[in-house]
Structure 1
Amino acid sequence: MHFNHTLTNSFIQKPMTFMHLLVYTFFVSSLLCFFALPSLSITDNHETICGSTIDPNYCKNVLANQNGSIFDYGRFSVQKSLTQSLKFLNLVNSYLQNSSVFSQYTINALEDCQLLAEQNNEYLSNTYNIINQASNVLPSTQAEDFQTILSAVLTNQETCFGGIQSTSADPRVKNDLSSSLSDDTKLHGVSLALFVKGWVPRKIITQSWQHNGGNLDFHNGHLLLKMSNRARAIYDSARNHGRKLLQTTNNNSVVVIDMVVVSQDGSGNFTTINDAIAAAPNNINSTSGYFVIFINAGVYQEYVSINKTKTYLMLIGEGINQTIITGNHNVGDGNFTTFNSATFAVVAQGFVAVNITFRNTAGPSKFQAVALRSGADMSSFYSCSFEGYQDTLYTHSMRQFYRECDIYGTVDYIFGNAAVVFQNCNIYSRLPLSGQFNTITAQGRTDPNQNTGTSIQNATVKAADDLAPNINTVQTYLGRPWKQYSRTVFMQSFMDRLINPAGWHEWSGDFALSTLYYAEYKNTGPGSNTTNRVTWSGYHIINATDAANFTVSNFLAGDNWLPQTGVPYLSGLV
């Protein structure tokens, strides 16, 4: 998403994708839905294999003179992707070594690319190590993990590209990196497609109904914790000081290896959130438990970035509008990319946040200004608030879950390319700049093989207080297609009358209208009437069988990882 001074939405645009078009058909049938590409014989040639990739001609060039099975082709492509990702990282590093000649914006954009390229190198290396040993389909959970990772590789490429394509970026950097990014992205798309063909088992989506995860109630009382003696002492000390702690609803527990308290008055272990995070152990595994950071009420003017080593952190505040993390970085001032404008950013696996407000106070005149960005796999947010205007909540990549959260914004204020489910959340559109319209979502899927999309279930969609008197003059839409294969579903949600009868808005002309997947299922309220909705071929009014694809259980494989977080959830449809 790049900065432009023009106020109308049509020119406040994210960079257009540079990938080629491919008609993508999302299909379901009867009670069971099968997502599988045609099976391949053990020695299919590369022309057959490339036939259904996003760019068959490019794929054929990559695999030219190669022979073998789908697994051989896949390993070759991923290995080539890994080699290219390392070359690109070295190119970015070479520019950063001479950064004194560049503007602050260009340096920030290069640092974004450096971080994202480092991630891609790790993701591709891990993928190659797995498939180099596997000559058959992977177990479904492992296949889901690596499809998620390879989907994120493409998202990282797009994010880097978007930053350096800004008018604020140095032309030398823009021209040099853009070519490499474009070629490498096509290569990574081939690797993802071949991985899906070779190693991902046919996925059976079952129709699922209400099933409560049966987890913890974080609002009052005490939490049953499995913890060390030191952690118990801290917990008891916090309780004795009158903190609102946690409560179990049916004898469940969250495993905690240690915990600390942040308090600005000096009564805790730390006075800043960043210091507490720095003290957390590195690379906790999923079975060890969480490092818990209790954050006392207060306004914390900090920019927090949780790197990949700080896994399985749980941050617990004292409540929405009680524990507030705030900043004002933005694109409008000319120094920051959308990616690094975030007040709070996290990429560490297994992150959990509870009872916290994340805020960006830049205001609508500063355009893109992110309150929270998550690229953390299996991250969850419970009873949190996200406050901003344009681009409030950046669900960047990987798998994410939001429960009973409040989200405030104007233009594209829930955006990104994660596989994400919002459940029982309140979505509040605010008053935008004069000449703008509101768009709730801008989903960024660029490839039909990515397992990404935005699912909004059992939400309440209303006007914020500043917009309420103006809903007859300010138009609000459910979303618009940021990228070619944008995928967003609203289901079982209440939509107030602020929603325009068309429901959805185009991005630019007919871009993506046939390749996107937008759907609605059993929504209620005056804004949910679908009689006058858009007639795009990519828009659908779906049934329960289709909707089941976008539930926590099926879309996120959430039953495998959400129970340990203690965050309540419904596996299926309400």
Structure 2
Amino acid sequence: MASLLFLSVLTLTLYFSLFSASAASIPPEIHQACKATRYPETCESSLAQSARLPPKPTPLQIIQSSIRVSSENLKTAQSMVKSILDSSAGNLNRTTAAKNCMEGLHNSEYRISQTVDALPRGKMKDARVWMSAALLYQYGCWSGLKYANDTQLVNQTMSFLNTLVGYSSNALSMMVSYDVFGKETGSWGPPRTERTGFWESGGGGATELGFKGGVPSDLPADVTVCKDGSKGCYKTVQEAVEAAPENLPAGKRFVIRIKAGVYEETVRVPFEKRNVVFLGDGMGKTVITGSLNVGQPAKPGITTHNTATVGVDGDGFMASGLTIQNTAGSEGHQAVAFRSDSDLTIIENCEFIGNQDTLYAHSLRQFYKSCRIQGNVDFIFGNSASIFQNCTILVCPREVNADQGETNTVTAHGRTDPSQSTGFVFQNCLINGTEEYMASYHSNPEVHQNFLGRPWKEYSRTVFIDCNLGALIKPEGWMPWDGEFALETLFYGEFQNSGPGSNLSQRVTWSTRIPAEHANTYSVQNFIQGDQWIPTSS
């Protein structure tokens, strides 16, 4: 099987090599549209032989054909990863990587199908979100295999996935140009970011940043979870999730009331369980707790993704009035409390407690309101488009060598492509330390180094707007990841923050003071289209 798949990859490579048309033989419409991509030659060669494109294709037809190239190659990637899984019995690390890959590529396939459906209906913002996620999952599959690359088949699959990521990037880049400039492909160009002076939806200043909405307060419960498992109650949260119907349509919700108590369990809301709502009795009262962690050295078969106490894949997830925690401690290293891959996530009045990697806002659109998030190393991370509104973000002490000082980062955003519509936006949040941490900080502030973020991936994007930044934030504000990596491509911005940690005079040169006329780019309405899906409140 491995040799057959190698021949399949080789055949595809030869196909594109043999039929790579010269510039003169490529239709001018394709040549011009591909100028909007990061890989124009790959774009042209993959589209020039498309039998489904008319002689003079429209920009939308070119984009649709580019997405088709991605979709067709995705199927080959899925077959290759399945072969890895089938040949990995007895190898726990490779089996786990392949299973996570299969799940990610399935998600990618679904998001591409959503994109295909949205484009002819003019829902370009949605299409860009979904294609951004499709690209994220393909990259994630490649990245996961990197840690289990011990066979020729895995190496070949990673090479193929790298090509697939390029195809998807090209499709997404053209979608961005189409959304911004319309059908006039003469205005299309390679993707740009705020770092190069390009803002989307930049008008209106900060007037729309006070969007009011969240989890509705009057949702009746469909089922109830009780710690004692009394009559009419489920005893575990997972049992209640399993009782939810699959694929609920928009406007329908399955509400799970979780009564006060400490629920020691790992909870998964699967892909098919849409519009599930968790309603607790309040932070610190309803607590879901776990302790899965990667550890050091890393534990076989355990990945950061899998450590989440609560992990959500079904779209439309909501939660209110509960605490989710991972108690692994600093020595557990990556140990996630909550992970969301749910598009249109709404979380309000919830608490997330952990150390490293507390909150994994992995993908798609997420909205956190009036939440409390606690950790120390990269404790809000992922590649989603997430807005944190009126939240309290607290650095907590590590148990290891706390008296010798430590370096902590609030965020680690993971955007890998400049066309992805992702980033972290903090609005009207408090960034400070827990009481315990601040006591240690005040006794010897020089050994405690705290930063707003560092670039996990090349196009990391994070902004703080109207936030109160405590004294624990270093004057430099932001921290490199590794040498010069991503310092020319990331976007880290601040606007009208207050507090002792907000002084911009000593900020690193690669961060930005957001111009007032562009602050509205990061509103709930513009950045995550929240006015279309977040229930409003007065």
What TM-score bracket applies, with the shorter chain setting the length? 0.7 to 0.9
Residues 1:556 and 2:536 are matched in the alignment: no
Matching residue of 1:34: none
| TM value normalised by structure 1 | 0.79
Deviation at 1:382, TM superposition (A): 0.4
Structure 1 segment 211-250 matched on structure 2, within 5 A? 224=218
Matching residue of 2:341: 375
Residue by residue over 1:172-211, the C-alpha shift from the partner in whole angstroms, topping out at 9 and shown as x without a partner, is 5642332122111111101111233346676644425257
- How many residue pairs align between the two structures? 477
Choose from 87, 95, 110 the match for 1:98. Answer: 87
Matching residue of 1:440: 410
Residue by residue over 1:123-148, the C-alpha shift from the partner in whole angstroms, topping out at 9 and shown as x without a partner, is 223323454xx3xxx53xx2111110
Change (3 A) 1:75 1:507: same
Can you give the 5+ residue segments of structure 2 that lack an aligned partner in the other structure? Answer: 1-26, 183-199
Residues 1:292 and 2:262 are matched in the alignment: no
SS of corresponding position for 2:448:
coil
Contact kept in structure 2, 1:358 and 1:371, CA below 8 Å: yes
Q: Which amino acid aligns with 2:374?
A: Y
Choose from 411, 415, 419 the match for 1:449. Answer: 419
Residues 1:529 and 2:495 are matched in the alignment: no
Deviation at 1:158, TM superposition (A): 2.4
Q: Partners in 2 of 1:281 and 1:561 — Cα distance?
A: 21
SS of corresponding position for 1:106:
helix
Deviation at 1:64, TM superposition (A): 3.7
Change (3 A) 1:95 1:127: same
Deviation at 1:58, TM superposition (A): 2.7
Matching residue of 1:58: 42
Matching residue of 2:227: 264
Residue by residue over 1:470-515, the C-alpha shift from the partner in whole angstroms, topping out at 9 and shown as x without a partner, is 3311200000111111110001001111001100011112111121
RMSD value, Cα: 2.2
Matching residue of 1:14: none
Matching residue of 2:175: 195
Choose from 110, 114, 138 the match for 1:126. Answer: 114
Structure 1 segment 18-417 matched on structure 2, within 5 A? 44-65=28-49, 68-103=57-92, 105-131=93-119, 134=120, 138-139=121-122, 142-166=123-147, 170-172=150-152, 174-198=154-178, 204-207=201-204, 208-209=206-207, 224=218, 259-267=222-230, 268-287=232-251, 289-332=252-295, 333-334=298-299, 335-417=301-383
Q: Partners in 2 of 1:189 and 1:88 — Cα distance?
A: 16
Contact kept in structure 2, 1:108 and 1:340, CA below 8 Å: no
SS of corresponding position for 1:271:
coil
Deviation at 1:55, TM superposition (A): 2.3
Q: Partners in 1 of 2:274 and 2:493 — Cα distance?
A: 34
Q: Partners in 2 of 1:73 and 1:182 — Cα distance?
A: 22
SS of corresponding position for 1:390:
coil
Mean Cα deviation higher: 344-353 or 258-267 = 258-267
Change (3 A) 1:217 1:306: closer
Q: Which amino acid aligns with 1:467?
A: Y
Contact kept in structure 2, 1:352 and 1:380, CA below 8 Å: yes
Mean Cα deviation higher: 57-66 or 492-501 = 57-66
Change (3 A) 1:194 1:214: closer
Residues 1:464 and 2:444 are matched in the alignment: no
Change (3 A) 1:72 1:356: same
Residues 1:545 and 2:517 are matched in the alignment: yes
Deviation at 1:47, TM superposition (A): 3.2
Mean Cα deviation higher: 192-201 or 518-527 = 192-201
| TM value normalised by structure 2 | 0.84
Matching residue of 2:19: none
Q: Which amino acid aligns with 1:417?
A: N
Residues 1:520 and 2:494 are matched in the alignment: yes
Contact kept in structure 1, 2:85 and 2:94, CA below 8 Å: no
Contact kept in structure 1, 2:209 and 2:524, CA below 8 Å: no
Change (3 A) 1:551 1:199: closer
Q: Which amino acid aligns with 2:476?
A: A
Q: Partners in 1 of 2:154 and 2:438 — Cα distance?
A: 42
Q: Partners in 2 of 1:169 and 1:301 — Cα distance?
A: 35
SS of corresponding position for 1:356:
strand
Q: Partners in 1 of 2:153 and 2:61 — Cα distance?
A: 36
Q: Partners in 2 of 1:217 and 1:48 — Cα distance?
A: 45
Residue by residue over 1:286-317, the C-alpha shift from the partner in whole angstroms, topping out at 9 and shown as x without a partner, is 22x32111101111111111112111111001
Deviation at 1:101, TM superposition (A): 3.0
Choose from 471, 484, 501 the match for 1:510. Answer: 484
Contact kept in structure 2, 1:261 and 1:293, CA below 8 Å: yes
Contact kept in structure 2, 1:501 and 1:533, CA below 8 Å: yes
Q: Partners in 2 of 1:482 and 1:216 — Cα distance?
A: 29
Residues 1:483 and 2:463 are matched in the alignment: no
Matching residue of 2:189: none
Deviation at 1:45, TM superposition (A): 3.6
Mean Cα deviation higher: 540-549 or 110-119 = 540-549
Q: Partners in 2 of 1:550 and 1:126 — Cα distance?
A: 24
Deviation at 1:154, TM superposition (A): 1.4
Q: Which amino acid aligns with 2:176?
A: V
- Higher share in helix: 2
Deviation at 1:269, TM superposition (A): 2.2
Answer 1 or 2: higher relative contact order, Cα 8 Å, separation at least 6. Answer: 1
Deviation at 1:533, TM superposition (A): 0.2
SS of corresponding position for 2:435:
coil
Matching residue of 1:498: 472
Mean Cα deviation higher: 116-125 or 370-379 = 116-125
Contact kept in structure 1, 2:374 and 2:395, CA below 8 Å: yes
